[in-house]
A and B are shown apart, each in its own frame.
Chain A
Amino acid sequence: EPEVTQTPSHQVTQMGQEVILRCVPISNHLYFYWYRQILGQKVEFLVSFYNNEISEKSEIFDDQFSVERPDGSNFTLKIRSTKLEDSAMYFCASSGASGRGKTEAFFGQGTRLTVV
């Protein structure tokens, strides 16, 4: 079964450094998302992306964050200057316009970001 893959599974970075989290959505999906889960808390929506532009973003998604689909397969989340409070699990998801992809978003296994 097709799946969303995220790399790396765990990333440690120094405070103030830029970090890029990578995701490969399901190939025929059209909508892409990032979510964040701070340890012990709920999963929070960050941003959705469609047709090469942001379609919706939350209050969390400030100027420190950016998303990009640099080629036909990858979807990335960049945090420009990481802060300690950016430490969290980041989930990528994708959904499509037909079949199962039309009625649910498929989530990756997450990247655990630790800012030290």
Chain B
Amino acid sequence: AQSVTQLDSQVPVFEEAPVELRCNYSSSVSVYLFWYVQYPNQGLQLLLKYLSGSTLVKGINGFEAEFNKSQTSFHLRKPSVHISDTAEYFCAVSDQGTGGFKTIFGAGTRLFVKA
């Protein structure tokens, strides 16, 4: 069965500092990997996804993530964060099975950017 572990429940960081949000997954099959952002009282917005090919994936808002198959990781990074990046970030894994495109989410990491 697929699972996702987000290693940090909260990450406080100062504005303009770099940040890395960690994610590890487990799956017995080839998977697709995603990062979603959720701003307070809002829905899920896709930041980026990894399907195949280049292991470095660039997304919206200056975020990028690197797929590492040997370490089963998909960490999210941003070189310089803004106050507006304060939000909940979810790593997710999915594959195409009989149930379609079922997505399994991690527990989330709350990024708190301080001035």
Chain A, range 65-116, C-beta contacts under 8 Å to B = 91, 93, 95, 102-105, 107-110
| Interface contact B105-A55, CB-CB below 8 Å | no
Q: B39 → chain A, closest Cβ, in Å?
A: 11
Q: B21 → chain A, closest Cβ, in Å?
A: 14
Q: How far is the CA of A93 from the CA of B46 in the complex (A)?
A: 13
Q: A5 → chain B, closest Cβ, in Å?
A: 11
Whether a CB of chain B sits under 8 angstroms from the CB of A44 is yes
Which residue of A has the minimal Cβ distance to B32? Answer: A103
Q: Which residues of B contact A48 (CB under 8 A)?
A: 99-100, 102
| Interface contact B46-A104, CB-CB below 8 Å | yes
- State which of A41, A55, A95, A107 has its C-beta within 8 Å of the C-beta of B44: A107
Q: A10 → chain B, closest Cβ, in Å?
A: 10
| Interface contact A45-B104, CB-CB below 8 Å | yes
Q: How far is the CA of A55 from the CA of B98 in the complex (A)?
A: 7
Q: B19 → chain A, closest Cβ, in Å?
A: 20
**A-B Cβ contacts below 8 A, count:** 65
Q: A101 → chain B, closest Cβ, in Å?
A: 8
Given A42-B107, A50-B100; A104-B49 close (CB under 8 Å): yes
Whether a CB of chain B sits under 8 angstroms from the CB of A43 is yes
Interface string of A35-55 (1 = CB under 8 A from B): 100000111110010100001
| Interface contact B100-A33, CB-CB below 8 Å | yes
| Interface contact A105-B101, CB-CB below 8 Å | yes
| Interface contact A104-B34, CB-CB below 8 Å | yes
Q: Which residues of A contact B32 (CB under 8 A)?
A: 103-104
Q: How far is the CA of A24 from the CA of B49 in the complex (A)?
A: 24
Q: Which residues of B contact A31 (CB under 8 A)?
A: 99-101
Whether a CB of chain A sits under 8 angstroms from the CB of B74 is no
Whether a CB of chain A sits under 8 angstroms from the CB of B94 is yes
Given A42-B90, A42-B105, A42-B106; A91-B99 close (CB under 8 Å): no
Apart from A55-B98, A104-B49, A104-B101: 11 A-B pairs, beta carbons within 8 A: A31-B101, A45-B102, A45-B104, A48-B100, A55-B99, A93-B103, A103-B32, A103-B49, A104-B94, A105-B103, A107-B43
